[in-house]
Amino acid sequence: MPAVRIDNLSKRFGPTLALSEVSLDIPSGEICFLLGPSGCGKTTLLRAVAGFVEPDTGRIFIGEEEITRVPPHLRGAAMMFQSYALWPHLTVERNVAFGLEEKKVPRDEIKKRVTEVLATMRLESYATRRIHELSGGQQQRVALARALVVQPRCLLLDEPLSNLDSRLRVEMRGEIRRLCKDFGLTAIYVSHDQKEALAIGDRIAVMDAGRIRQTGPPLEVYRNPRSRFVAEFLGETNLLHGHSTGPFVSTAAGPFYPVSVPDSDTVLLSIRPEAWHLLPNPLPINSFPGKITETVYLGEIARHRFLLQSGPEIIIFELNPRPRPDTHLYATADPCDVIPILEP
């Protein structure tokens, strides 16, 4: 039995179809990312699970209980908002205790649970501070502590790291994953940040125009996109149109040998920039002559524009780049990194 099950959910706002027959199963203890561009329906889906949006059709379950029409405060789900929604006039410990006080939990139990969660979040020394005395990262941890202290059956996160600087975002990615695993929480996490999803998630649901286009473990969805939309949304990729010709796919760049050639005349190949290797000499297959026309150094990697002798230009990521005296090189890709896409 999945911890959260969304069954054929649809929601319309006037003429706009925000969700269209969305179904999703999230196993217990997993962190599932709802990933997609602005307006794709991911926040509407999260708010429907939270109880802030009532779907037109479909059902929502947490465990075996259907919660589609259950009031938000009785669902056993805790939501962490993008703005944190902390009370500025209350101390850290009072902010964290707020949900328990609303539930009429006994005072001694409140004190015990607040103390425990503040220790887990490394916030004990900030218990009596006001919110405006905290940094952005500390406020983020307070908001997370407030969600965890009520011991929810499901944790809902709406772009919780979007207000942090890049260094702190990377740090808090690991913190959120650690806490979810330590507490054994099932979590639904809304984001448009692909790297965040790949770093934290156990499962990704890529959404577009109110529908889920693909779900699966992050590595599987990234390496084996089933549609052009998913391939392009989850990072950069090189797309080459081709035709199946026996054991290979014929493209404008030349013949490509994937691990398996689909039984379809028209094929779109996706090859991630990091899948290419630059070599001074050719290999027997998937090796194409050309030259670097532009390089942008991004610290640990270099992003090359590589003009193939056959005409097309591709993007190549090179790890641990060094200055290259070579002008003419061969771009080579392993067959397992040449991914045929059949869906439009």
DSSP 61-72: EETTEE-TTS-G
- The pLDDT value recorded for residue 171 is 78
In order of 11, 68, 171, 294, the CA distances from 19 in angstroms are 5, 15, 33, 42
Here the tokens at position 45 are 């889906």
Report the alpha-carbon distance of residue 5 to residue 27 in Å, rounded.
Answer: 9
Digit-coded pLDDT (tens) for 139-155? 888 888 888 888 888 99
Q: State residue 312 phi and psi, 5-degree precision.
A: -65, 155
Is 167 exposed, middle or buried, given 0-12, 13-18 or 19+ CB atoms closer than 10 A? Answer: exposed
pLDDT band at 326 (very low <50, low <70, confident <90, very high): low
The β-bridge relationship of strands 255-256 and 77-80 is: unpaired
Residues of the chain above pLDDT 90, percent: 48
Which CATH superfamily, name and number, covers 4-230?
P-loop containing nucleotide triphosphate hydrolases (3.40.50.300)
163-208: pLDDT as tens digits: 777 777 887 788 888 888 888 889 999 988 888 898 899 999 999 9
Q: Tokens at residue 183, please?
A: 């507490």
According to DSSP, the residues that pair with 187 across neighbouring strands are 31, 155
Strand 77-80, strand 154-158: pairing: parallel
pLDDT at res. 219 = 92
Q: d(Cα 272, Cα 223) in Å, to the nearest integer?
A: 8
Question: Looking at residue 119, what is its pLDDT?
Answer: 86
In this prediction, residue 2 carries a pLDDT of 67
pLDDT of 1 > 70? The answer is no
| CATH number assigned to the domain covering 237-341 | 2.40.50.140
Non-local (6+) Cβ contacts of 74 within 8 A are none
What span, in angstroms and rounded, lies between the C-alpha atoms of 215 and 32? 9
**pLDDT of res. 129:** 86
Mean pLDDT of 113-135: 85
The 8-class DSSP code of residue 133 comes to G
Give the Cα separation of 117 and 276 in Å (integer). 46
pLDDT, mean of residues 239-251 = 89
pLDDT of residue 175: 80
Domain with CATH 2.40.50.140 in the chain: 237-341
pLDDT-derived band at 4 (thresholds 50, 70, 90) equals very high
217-228 residue pLDDT tens: 999 999 999 999
| Averaged pLDDT for residues 81-108 | 83
Task: List, for residues 34-86, the tens digit of each pLDDT value.
Answer: 999 988 999 999 999 999 999 999 999 998 899 999 998 888 888 887 776 78
Q: What are the residue ranges of CATH 3.40.50.300 in the chain?
A: 4-230
* Tokens 């991914």, located at residue: 339
